[in-house]
Amino acid sequence: MNLYVRYFDHETLATNMDEVVNFLKSISEIKVDDSVVSRIGSFVESDGIYPFRLKVSYSNYVLFLKTEAKNLEEFKYLEKQRKEQRADSRMLMSDRKRTQLEILNEQHIGWYEASLTFKRVVQNPDTGKCKYVDTRFKARLIAGSAMHCYDRIVEHLQNRQDVDPRSQFPSAKSNNFEYIFLDADKEAKNKAENETAQPEPAVAGGISIESQGNINFPDDAAEFAS
């Protein structure tokens, strides 16, 4: 394992500690003593792969990077490739996020069955303190898209008297929001149509609610000061 060393415009790729020390001594601003050599040696011998910075003054540092490169030219080539890969990875992640939002916003008007797990604030009657409790709410409703379905459920929960306004709701893109478009297949569509022919379920905030959600809370929720 070799070492890339840089201090402002000064840089080198060293293959041993002697080359590192000679390089540092060639820069007048850097004081090289036994302590400095020991700290660099400890970094070289450690299993750490993250950069090491040696403080020279209040805001100036020498940068050390472990590398498999044999010389400075190869190191710069590998670094250029690594940066391009990171940029491509960020672009792919951005595309995935955009695609997920597009799917959530696709217009599909009809019945949805959805569940939302949120952080509900519940007061402990013994201590008077409150705690966040993971609470799963499930409902069947009519919406124009998955995002519309999510928004209507959150709006309904925020308007419920038994849901503390300090409760926290997850993003529609998270795994805590799940939904099924019931018109996606013939059997589900017939089921939804048959159920709508039955007596009208309770309506809250414009949502036809079949399930009022789980109101049984576990005891292992994280407490916080009220």
- The pLDDT value recorded for residue 192 is 46
pLDDT tens for 18-39 read 999 999 999 999 999 999 999 9
d(CA 137, CA 55): 53
pLDDT category, 152, cuts 50, 70, 90?
very high
pLDDT tens for 59-73 read 899 999 999 999 999
Assess whether pLDDT exceeds 50 at residue 211. no
pLDDT tens for 37-96 read 999 999 999 988 889 999 998 889 999 999 999 999 999 998 888 888 887 777 676 666
Cβ neighbors of 177 (< 8 A, separation 6 or more) are 114, 115, 116, 117, 150, 170, 171
d(CA 133, CA 222): 7
**Are 118 and 135 contacting, i.e. CB atoms less than 8 angstroms apart?**
yes
- The pLDDT value recorded for residue 94 is 66
- The pLDDT value recorded for residue 50 is 86
Assess whether pLDDT exceeds 70 at residue 207. no
Percent of the chain whose pLDDT exceeds 70: 77
Cβ neighbors of 121 (< 8 A, separation 6 or more) are 130, 131, 132, 133, 164, 166, 167
Phi, psi of 195 (to 5 degrees): -70, -35
pLDDT tens for 89-124 read 776 766 666 688 888 999 988 889 999 999 999 888
Mean of pLDDT over the chain: 80
For 104-117, b/e burial (b = at least 16 CB within 10 A) is beeeeeebbbbbbb
